[in-house]
Amino acid sequence: MSRELHERDYVAWLAEQAAALRRLAEQRANIPLDLDLLAEEMDDMARELRAACAPHTATIIHHLLKLQYSPAEETRRSWQNTVRSARLNLRKRITTTISNELADELTELYDLARANARNDLEQYHETDAAKRLPCRCPYTLEQIRDPDWWPTRAVVSA
């Protein structure tokens, strides 16, 4: 079971292993290992993986918003490349556990990404586009993660 969990959800496996090490430490197992410290290290590894995924998710949302709402043409390829890179980095790190946590954090991550997109748009005098950014995340986590999904460009009515 443990090997299967390792392959399926590395973060859940780390948590399981850390708990097992702590149980051994409580039983005062007579083995030449610092069980408490090993458990802490496993917790740190899981925390680092979690911490790496949130900024990639926010970066993806940030640039998807600009791709959807900005009238600019010349910077679109750069934004697409940023999204592709962040999606790849996210795909390398995400697990089921982290995906569930990101779903719970999506509103907070969206608020950060929206603020960044708004600042970028306003900096380049795209205030109308900045005003049209939705208050709630228009993307699902599946869309954010999907390497083939791109938002439809918002049409500005005159």
User: pLDDT, tens digit, for every residue of 96-145?
Assistant: 999 999 999 999 999 999 999 999 999 999 999 999 999 999 999 999 99
Decide if 133 is inside a domain: yes
Decide if 152 is inside a domain: no
7 CB neighbour count, 10 Å cutoff? 9
Decide if 140 is inside a domain: yes
Whole-angstrom distance, CA of residue 30 vs CA of residue 24: 9
| Distance in angstroms between the alpha carbons of the first and the last residue of the chain | 60
Both tokens assigned to 14: 């780390």
Decide if 66 is inside a domain: yes
28 CB neighbour count, 10 Å cutoff? 8
Give the CATH number for residue 32: 1.20.1220.20
Alpha-helical segments (H) within the chain: 2-8, 10-26, 35-69, 76-93, 96-123, 127-131, 141-145
Task: Give CA separation, 11 vs 61, 81, 132, 158, in Å.
Answer: 24, 28, 38, 50
Q: Domain range spanning residue 78?
A: 2-145
pLDDT at 158: 47
Global pTM? 0.86
pLDDT at 25: 85
Q: How many CA atoms lie within 13 A of 152 on its CB side?
A: 3
User: pLDDT, tens digit, for every residue of 17-65?
Assistant: 999 889 888 888 778 888 889 999 999 999 998 999 999 999 999 999 9
Decide if 108 is inside a domain: yes
User: pLDDT, tens digit, for every residue of 56-92?
Assistant: 999 999 999 999 999 998 889 999 999 999 999 999 9
Both tokens assigned to 107: 């509103």
Decide if 157 is inside a domain: no
Instruction: With H, G, I as helix, E, B as strand and everything else as coil, classify residue 10.
Output: helix
Decide if 151 is inside a domain: no
Q: Could you give the number of structural domains in the chain?
A: 1
Decide if 155 is inside a domain: no
